[in-house]
Amino acid sequence: MAEAAIAADLAHADSAMWIFRRSDEAILADARTLEAEGPRDRPLWGVPFAVKDNIDVAGIPTTAACPGFAYTPETDAPAVRRLLDAGALLVGKNNLDQFATGLVGTRSPYGIPRNVFDLKLVPGGSSSGSACAVAAGIVRFALGTDTAGSGRVPAAFGNIVGLKPTVGSVSARGMVPACRSIDTISVFARSVDEALSVQRVIAGFDVEDPYSRAAPFPHLRRGQARAPARVAMADVAALCEPDVTTAYHAASVFLGATPVDIRLFLEIARLLYDGPWVAERTAGLRGVLDVQPDILYPTTRTILELGLERRAVDAFGAFHLLRQARRRAALLFVEYDALVLPTAPFCPTLAEVAADPLRPNHRLGTFTNFANLCDLAAFAVPIGFAPNGTPIGGVLLGPAWSEGRLAPLADTLHRKFATTVGATGKPLPPPAEPDALEPDETGLFCIGAHMAGLPLNHQITSLGGRFLREADTQPGYRMFALGNRPGMLRAGDGAAIAGEVWAVPTSAIGVLLAQVPPPLGFGTVLLDDGPCLGFLAETAGVGDGTDITHLGGWRAWLRMKSED
C-alpha cells in the first residue's frame, strides 16, 4: 500500500495538497518495519493516512497554514498516536484554510489544493488537503477538523465520506483550536464503515483535555440497517442551487423522509460567523493578532479582527437562542432517527471566491454551521452528481453519541447514489458486517412500539441500543392489542410472533424496564433460534385487549388499522 500511495501522489501531482509530505524513503522504511512486525492485531496495519496540519505529529512542524506561527511538537496529538499504535502509515500533513478559518479551501499561503473534479471549483475547507488526498486515492483516510463544517464540506466536493464525531469524543489535545468549545477532529474516508473504523481507534476520554467527554455507552458499535427509519428533511429549494435540490430530493425520497421546520437551526448557523463564536476564534489567536498580525492570511486576519467588535450583551442573546435550538434538536431526535440535509447548497468557483472572499464562504455553512453548536454527530456522504459532473453531498445528522447507529443508514444512502471512491473510478470497499452481540450487551426481543421507526424506539436508542435482526418467536405465544402497545403471552395454542432483536447495554436494561408500564415487563422469550430476553405481559392485564395473534405481529396490526 505504501508504494501505491506514493505512485498515486506522483500521478496526481498537486503540491498544494501538502504542507509537509514525508520522503518516499521514510514512508517505505516505515512500511518495511510494519511488514516485518506483522499485524499484531493492529486494526489499521499498513494503511496509509494523512493529517491536517493543525494537528500535531512529533518532529514535524505544525503550521496551521501560517508559516510565522509554526512550531515543532515533541509529542503526537493523542489521536495521531492512537493511529500510529494501530499500525497506520503516515504519508504527510495536509494544507488547510489558515487556522481552520473557512469552508472554501482557498485561504492558505501554501496554495490551493485542486478540486479533484473541476479545476475551476474550490476544493472546500478548511480541511482541503486532507479531503483531496482521500478523493485522489493517495491515502485510505485522513484526519481533518470540524467546527463549522470543515470535515463535511470538502467531503462533498470530493465525492467521499466525512465523519463529524460527537464533540469531545476525540481528544483535542495537540490540535490548534478554532472555536475550542465546539471543535472536533474529524475523519475523511472512502466509505462510512472505514470512517467508523478509524473513529473507533481515535475516540476515547482524555482527562487532560478539559473539553473531553466520556461516552455514556459504546456508541461506535455498528448495528444492522433497518427499514423503516424515521428520517426528517427540510424544504431547501430557496437555499440551494437547482442541481443540489434535485439530488437532495432524490435522497430524501429514498429515505422516506418527512418535512420538518429547521428555521431555528438555520438561525443558529448564521450566528457561527456573525455571533459570539467569531470572538471565540479571536480569543484563541489573540496573541498572534496582538503581536504578529502581519503573519496572518489577509482574509483570516479580517475575520479574526471582527471578533474584537463583538459585545457580551449580544453573546448572551446568542447563548439563550442556542439553548432553544438544543432543546429543539433533543425533541426532534425523540421523534426521528436522523435529519438529512444537503452538505452544501452549492460549490463556488475559485473566481467567485476571489471576487468576494466572505459571502460564498458564509453560504457554504448554511447546513453545517449549527451541528457542533447543537451537539450533533454527522456523516457526510455522496448523493449524486450534477449534470456537469460536480459531486453533490448529503449529511445525516443525529444526536450526540449516535455515530454507530447512524452508520448503517448513512452507508445505505451512500451506496444508493455512489459506486466509486472520490475521483479514482475505483469501486467502494464492501460494507462491514454489523457487530455481533458483545459481552456487555443484552439481546432484547421487541414486539411493539419499541421497534424501529415506531414511537418508543427512542427509549432504546437513547440508551445505546442498536438493531441486530428481525426474528420470530417459536409457536406458543398470543398477542393482544392494548391501545397503543401490544401484550404478548405464552400460550399452548399460540403462534409465532414477529419482532426485532436489539442489542442494549446490559447496564441500561433496568433503566429501560423502569419506563415500561404494567401489565408489560421482561421475561425469557423462545425465538426460532433460541431464548432471548423480551417483552411479555401479565395474563391478568390483557383481558380487555383485542387478540391479534392471527396477524403475526404488531406491524401487521398497524397496517390493518391504517387501511380501515
Q: Which of 52, 108, 128, 171 is catalytic?
A: 52
Q: What are phi and psi of 354, to 5 degrees?
A: -65, -35
Sheet-wide strand order for 184-189: 18-21, 89-94, 48-52, 141-146, 184-189, 161-164, 376-385, 391-399, 338-342, 231-233, 258-259
* CA dist 523 → 117, 479, 489 (Å): 57, 15, 10
**105 grid coordinates:** 479551501
Q: Which of 93, 108, 126, 252 is catalytic?
A: 126
**49 grid coordinates:** 493516512
CA 287 to chain centre: 33
Sign, Cα dihedral of 40, 41, 42, 44: positive
Residue 416 annotated among the catalytic residues of the structure: no
Three-point CA angle 28, 31, 35, nearest 5°: 140
- Rounded Cα distance between 127 and 153, Å, is 9
Nearest to 178 by CA among 282, 281, 68: 281
Rg (the chain; Cα; Å)? 25
Q: Which distant-in-sequence residues (6+ apart) come within 8 Å of 106 by Cβ? A: 97, 112, 122, 125, 128, 350, 353, 354, 357
Q: Which helix (H) or strand (E) holds 161?
A: strand 161-164
Scanning the structure block, which residue is given the C-alpha cell 425465538?
527
**403 grid coordinates:** 455515530
- Rounded Cα distance between 377 and 362, Å, is 21
- CB atoms closer than 10 angstroms to residue 148: 32
Contact at 8 Å (CB) between 395 and 152? yes
Q: Which distant-in-sequence residues (6+ apart) come within 8 Å of 180 by Cβ? A: 172, 211, 280, 284
* SS3 per-residue string spanning 281-349: HHHHCHHHHHHCHHHCCHHHHHHHHHHHHCCHHHHHHHHHHHHHHHHHHHHHHHHCCEEEEECCCCCCE
* CA dist 320 → 16, 96, 315, 326, 375 (Å): 42, 32, 9, 10, 15
Residue 15 annotated among the catalytic residues of the structure: no
- Rounded Cα distance between 156 and 388, Å, is 15
Q: Which of 108, 127, 130, 150 is catalytic?
A: 150
Find residue 480's DSSP bridge partners.
Answer: 487, 547
Nearest to 184 by CA among 159, 149, 217, 157: 149
- Rounded Cα distance between 76 and 55, Å, is 8
> Residue 474 gets which letter from DSSP?
P
Residue 126 annotated among the catalytic residues of the structure: yes
* Residues with catalytic function: 52, 126, 150
